Structure 1
Amino acid sequence: MTSGPQASRPLTSRPRRVRWVAAAFAVVFVALFTVVAVLLGGDTSTGVYFRLSDQLAMVGIGVLLACGALWLTRPRVSADADGVTVRNLLGSTRFDWASVVGISFPDGASWARLELPDDEYVPVMAVQAVDGDRAVAAIREMRKLHRAAHAQQSA
């Protein structure tokens, strides 16, 4: 890492608003399916009998749906003087700053992206438009780290 007043500290960013919404949905899924499981416990006049295993399965479905909602909170980006690590929904990849052409946030896009050589790009789902100023700050810090790394390479 470079020294002096322009030295940037490592950045770690996660989406904020998505975490709140996903957590709320997770709670609703578990609560709703638990209530349904309890209500289905008695004998009904329809001739359908729900046993304890059926009730537990309903709660299990609620838990699985909650896990699916919480999966949306997985994205994270970590950047330091050496490179950037992007963790999206399905995987995590580390990029050296030398292999990153730029960092952009196209108009109308939901999240930022790393621009790579040959017109390729990697979405950075951790920096989302709905997070407003937090997203702007994360992009600025990543760009600062990117510039510092390229300046150090050319020096």
Structure 2
Amino acid sequence: MPAVTFRPTRTRAVLLTAGGVAFGMFTLIAVLLPADGARPWGTGDRLAFAGTGALILAVLAWLSRPKVVVDAEGITVVNLVTRRRLAWAEIVRVNLRAGDAWVHLDLADGTSLGVMGIQPGVGREQALRDARALRALAEEHGTGQPGLR
């Protein structure tokens, strides 16, 4: 089975586009700041402007990180600050209930894991398709139980 990746593509596109625009604008401002006059802008000031744009881009790129990668052995859940690898046997159920911010996996150890890579906030229909596909894959590998509500 080839690896399948689920991620909130619209959210990712918006975040990376906004980050690129912010970086471009701050860099353009840094270049256009006057070098002469009563209060000239020095190299450090220009670097600070460009650095601010780079920082904004980095934060927005970090926010676009969540994804779920599925392969024959299990899944890898990448959330904002964590990455967790799960074998199929660890997954009991895939849930996406009305009002949930993202999919939740019920695990064999009795805990639940949020899967930020599938979020209905921006694209509800896409999130439902992705959640159903993830549930079908879990069931196909013999460990999932019907649970998408």
TM-score by length of 2: 0.81
Identity percentage over the alignment?
35
Q: Is the 8 A contact 1:10 1:79 kept in 2?
A: yes
Q: Which amino acid aligns with 1:115?
A: D
Tell whether 2:7 aligns with 1:14: yes
The match for 1:85 among 73, 76, 79 is 76
The match for 2:123 among 115, 120, 131 is 131
Q: Structure 1 residues 149 and 18 mapped into 2: Cα distance closer, same or farther (>3 Å)?
A: same
Within a 5 Å distance, the mapping from 1:27-66 to structure 2 comes to 27-45=20-38, 48-66=39-57
Q: Which amino acid aligns with 1:14?
A: R
Name the structure 2 match of 1:147.
139
- Aligned pairs, how many? 143
Larger Rg, first or second structure (1 or 2): 1
Aligned CA-pair RMSD = 2.3
Q: Which amino acid aligns with 1:87?
A: V
Q: Which amino acid aligns with 2:83?
A: S
Residues in 1 aligned to 2:46 and 2:71: alpha-carbon distance in whole angstroms: 49
Q: Which amino acid aligns with 1:135?
A: A
Structure 2: 5+ residue runs without aligned partners?
145-149
Q: Which amino acid aligns with 1:15?
A: P
SS in 1 for 2:97: coil
TM-score by length of 1: 0.79
CA positional deviation for 1:124 = 0.9
